[in-house]
Amino acid sequence: MTQDEMKRNAARAAVAYIEPQTIVGVGTGSTVNHFIDALAEIKDQIAGAVSSSEQSTARLKALGIPVLDLNSISGFGVYVDGADEINAAKQMIKGGGAALTREKIVAAVAKTFICIVDSTKQVEVLGKFPLPVEVIPMASSYVSRELAKLGGKPVVREGVVTDNGNLIIDVHGLHISEPLALEQQINNIVGVVTNGIFAARAADLVLVGSAEGTQVLR
Ligand code: 5RP
């Protein structure tokens, strides 16, 4: 089974957690693209979607799923999104697709965060995947120097501007033994919009696609 097939299995399993006539939160990435395709099959049974990126919005709309403005609703139930890494505490590194800030906002509003991953994303300690940090462009040199003090190697992602008009710095070589503390520490650097550690808002449920089937981690 290919990695993409494992992603697809996890994504399709998430549809079972969507309550009829509710608003669905939709993340970003190749795993989520499979989820959007599956969601389109039940589009008449949902109230619409809130989206975490222009990319997902375009795919949702192309498949006839109404996309609602997050500011027009007071809350919703299930948010489904992928991850670049996830540990046993359901804390994640996200932002490989540069959508981390909007993902964190939509996840904050959701009652339940369902993370869909293939088994290659499971790790003991976060940090092998370079940690994405969204920064205000004029602060990128300053933020890079501050990030280097934390022991990582910051690299500005070439040719990428986020949906919010900002830059992404990928921090290589971190060994994130205390995700919650590091998430807060990096967010306190002036010029950082947010970083890709999802520890303050970890997942509630993880669906792991593998060659053996889809495992549910509660
Ligand atoms: C985008 C993300 C994605 O969820 C993460 O990069 C995983 O992507 P994929 O499903 O393509 O492996 O955080 O910002």
Q: Tens of pLDDT along 103-126?
A: 999 999 999 999 999 999 999 999
- Known binder of ligand: residue 82? yes
- 3-state class of 24 per DSSP? strand
CA of 95 to the centre of ligand 1 (A): 6
- Known binder of ligand: residue 97? yes
Residue 65 confidence (pLDDT) above 90: yes
Question: Taking residues 156-173, what's their average pLDDT?
Answer: 98
CA nearest neighbour of 10 among 195, 128, 23, 27? 27
- Predicted confidence at residue 46, as pLDDT, reads 98
- Predicted confidence at residue 77, as pLDDT, reads 98
Q: Which two tokens stand for residue 175?
A: 């060994």
103 as an active site residue: the answer is yes
Dist CA 102 CA 51 (whole Å): 8
The atom of ligand 1 lying closest to the CA of 100 is 14
The atom of ligand 1 lying closest to the CA of 95 is 14
**Residues within 6 Å of ligand 1 by CB:** 27-31, 81-84, 94-100, 103
The atom of ligand 1 lying closest to the CA of 32 is 10
Question: Taking residues 149-153, what's their average pLDDT?
Answer: 96
Cα separations (Å) of 84 from 46, 69, 119, 149?
Answer: 28, 26, 11, 24
CATH of domain 3-122+200-217: 3.40.50.1360
Question: For the chain, where do the domains classified as CATH 3.30.70.260 start and end?
Answer: 131-196
Could you tell which of 53, 84, 162, 193 is best to mutate to test the pocket of ligand 1, judged by most ligand atoms within 8 Å of the CB?
A: 84
- Predicted confidence at residue 144, as pLDDT, reads 98
- Predicted confidence at residue 14, as pLDDT, reads 98
131-196, which class in CATH? alpha beta
Question: For the chain, where do the domains classified as CATH 3.40.50.1360 start and end?
Answer: 3-122+200-217
**Burial (CB count within 10 angstroms: exposed 0-12, middle 13-18, buried 19+), residue 209:** buried
pLDDT band (50, 70, 90) for residue 35 = very high
Q: Closest Cα to atom 7, ligand 1: which residue? A: 83
Please tell me which residue in 41, 54, 103, 134 is annotated as part of the active site: 103
Residue 93 confidence (pLDDT) above 90: yes
Distance between the two ends of the chain, CA-based, in angstroms?
25
Question: Taking residues 134-162, what's their average pLDDT?
Answer: 98
Question: Taking residues 129-156, what's their average pLDDT?
Answer: 98
Dist CA 40 CA 122 (whole Å): 28
Q: Closest Cα to atom 8, ligand 1: which residue? A: 29
Residue 154 confidence (pLDDT) above 90: yes
Dist CA 127 CA 129 (whole Å): 5
Cα separations (Å) of 176 from 33, 54, 93?
Answer: 28, 30, 10
- Predicted confidence at residue 211, as pLDDT, reads 86
Contacts of 79 (CB under 8 A, 6+ apart): 24, 25, 26, 27, 106, 107, 109, 110, 112, 113, 114
Tell me the pLDDT tens digit for each residue of 178-214: 999 999 999 999 999 999 999 999 999 999 999 888 9
Residue 87 confidence (pLDDT) above 90: yes
Q: Which two tokens stand for residue 134?
A: 């969204």
Q: Which two tokens stand for residue 26?
A: 């939709």
- Known binder of ligand: residue 83? yes
In angstroms and rounded to an integer, the radius of gyration of the C-alpha atoms of the chain is: 17
